[in-house]
Amino acid sequence: MTRARHRTLGDRLRAERERRRWTKPEMARRLREAIPDRQRPDFDTVLSYVKRWEAGRVNVSERYRFAYAAAFDMDVDELFGPQQDIRTAASGVPAVPQDLLDAAGLSDRARRPVDARYVEAIRQTNQALIQLDTLHGGGSLLQHAVRVFREVHHKVGAGTCDPKVERDLVAVAGETGEIAAWIAYDADRQTTSRQLINEALLLSRQAGDRAMELFELGHLSMLSLRAHRPAEALRIADELADDGRLAPRVAALFEIRRGRALAQMGEEHRAMAALDKAQVMVSAGISARDPHWTWWIDDMEIDRQRSAALAQLGRWRQVVPLREEVVARVREGPAYARFDLAELLDALVHVRDWSRAEEILGEAVDLAATLGPCRTTALLRETVTRIDRSSGASSTVIDAADRIRYLVDNASQHRLL
């Protein structure tokens, strides 16, 4: 079935190319032109990809989907079909076969050549990791993600790759490290996440992949906020947010980080001003300069971050409607939506809205039963502890809190690393 889909897509790409009377080398040249200079692979590598894509041998990775759309002057969805939003495609993300997760050559690294096919296999493995994290959260996936990153990092250090793909290999290793760092963050393994993102940042810098480097700096500032080191997060944000050369949504990301850091420091007016500025940037839509990874920086993400900033400022009455709105939009969604539900419950407990909290607790019990150790279970544990210390909660609320505590404590005994 998968091979048939690839073949159908390959037929479409070949038809669009031939309709323009382009040869395969011309197609490769135009794809290279659609990729930023520092991320641009050599001509022979892209030509080999074009041949394999049109033959239906492999799927087209996200980066090249955007490049194809630019080369053909078409919308990505028009060319490739509607692409499910990674954050919201709860039931539509297909199961990822084990052979795709093993595509990096983990079982035969001593024999597999490090060439263009290997680099493309790592990119596909990265997409598989993202899909699995979206569906199941980071707790059950972290060990595998770290294993993939360590393997690719080893290939970079060994220096045995085809010289034509060396820069691509270093760049994809940086991307793999960023994904592993996010999964570690989602699994509530903050020290591991910090170690991974620093390694990834160095790789992306060595590859000249500035877009990924900025993503990784955004991750570092997020980790600083998680560790309640707002001055550290603010230094990263201040260094980058005012750089007029940044793409709009990248600049918005660092305005968000600035706002969150200022909120942790108690500077409410400046914090809200930074978030308002980010809102304006996001409302303008995605520009041609925005990297592909900025898809998640949207109005709903601003609501999430504004609610977090208000929570840090103790404005819980203002937090609740924002979190209610987010949950209403992502309900029945993937793992990210689960954290939104836990955040809403936390806000309701802070304002002692026991009636509404009781409604959410039923879902939270089901949620706790399905999750391994992760940031969502960590927040649920904090929330049920707060319920225990509060007055006025009904026996139904207390019983549900006890059930969540049992489920969360049981999950914590199954850490992978």
pLDDT the model gives residue 2: 44
Domain boundary among 16, 49, 83: 83
Do 91 and 169 fall within a single domain? Answer: yes
241 located within any domain: no
256 located within any domain: no
pLDDT digits (tens, 9 = 90+) for 220-273: 999 999 999 999 999 999 999 887 889 999 999 999 999 999 999 999 999 999
Do 129 and 145 fall within a single domain? Answer: yes
Do 118 and 195 fall within a single domain? Answer: yes
> Can you tell me which residue has the tokens 């992949």?
209
Domain boundary among 52, 83, 114: 83
pLDDT the model gives residue 255: 97
pLDDT digits (tens, 9 = 90+) for 30-87: 998 877 654 567 788 788 889 988 888 767 876 788 788 888 877 777 788 754 433 3
Query: How many C-beta atoms lie closer than 10 Å to residue 146's C-beta?
Result: 22
Return the half-sphere exposure (C-beta side, CA atoms, 13 A cut-off) of residue 76: 14
Do 51 and 94 fall within a single domain? Answer: no
pLDDT the model gives residue 110: 38
State the DSSP string of 71-126.
HHT--HHHHH-PPPPTTT-TTTSPPPPHHHHTTT-TT-TTTS--SHHHHHHHHHHH
pLDDT the model gives residue 180: 95
Do 90 and 71 fall within a single domain? Answer: no
277 located within any domain: no
Residue 107 pLDDT > 70:
no
The region of weakest confidence among 9-18, 94-103, 138-147, 205-214 is: 94-103
pLDDT the model gives residue 112: 64
pLDDT digits (tens, 9 = 90+) for 376-395: 989 999 999 999 988 888 99
Q: Which residue has the higher pLDDT, 101 or 348?
A: 348
pLDDT the model gives residue 334: 57
**94 falls in which pLDDT band (50, 70, 90)?**
very low
Do 64 and 137 fall within a single domain? Answer: no
Contact 163, 212 (CB under 8 A): no
Which CATH number goes with the domain that contains 25? 1.10.260
Domain that holds residue 116: 85-208
pTM metric for this prediction: 0.73
Whole-number Å distance between alpha carbons of 126 and 61: 10
401 located within any domain: yes
Cβ burial 352-365 (10 Å sphere, 16+ → b, else e): ebbebbeebbebbb
61 located within any domain: yes
What is the token pair recorded at 30?
């135009």
Q: Which residue has the higher pLDDT, 172 or 90?
A: 172
Do 373 and 383 fall within a single domain? Answer: yes
pLDDT digits (tens, 9 = 90+) for 198-221: 999 999 999 999 999 999 999 999
pLDDT digits (tens, 9 = 90+) for 299-342: 999 999 999 999 999 999 999 999 999 998 886 555 557 889 99
Do 77 and 101 fall within a single domain? Answer: no
Do 70 and 98 fall within a single domain? Answer: no
39 located within any domain: yes
Contact 147, 92 (CB under 8 A): no
230 located within any domain: no
Amino acid identity at 351: V
Structural domain total, the chain:
3
Contact 166, 206 (CB under 8 A): no
Do 339 and 407 fall within a single domain? Answer: yes
pLDDT the model gives residue 199: 97
Q: Which residue has the higher pLDDT, 367 or 382?
A: 382
Do 72 and 119 fall within a single domain? Answer: no
Q: Which residue has the higher pLDDT, 309 or 412?
A: 309
Contact 27, 64 (CB under 8 A): no
Do 63 and 134 fall within a single domain? Answer: no
> Using CB atoms within 10 A of its CB, is residue 99 exposed (0-12), middle (13-18) or buried (19+)?
exposed
154 located within any domain: yes
Residue 362 pLDDT > 50:
yes
- Work out the percent of the chain whose per-residue pLDDT is above 70: 85
pLDDT digits (tens, 9 = 90+) for 160-179: 888 889 999 999 999 999 99
Domain boundary among 64, 83, 102: 83
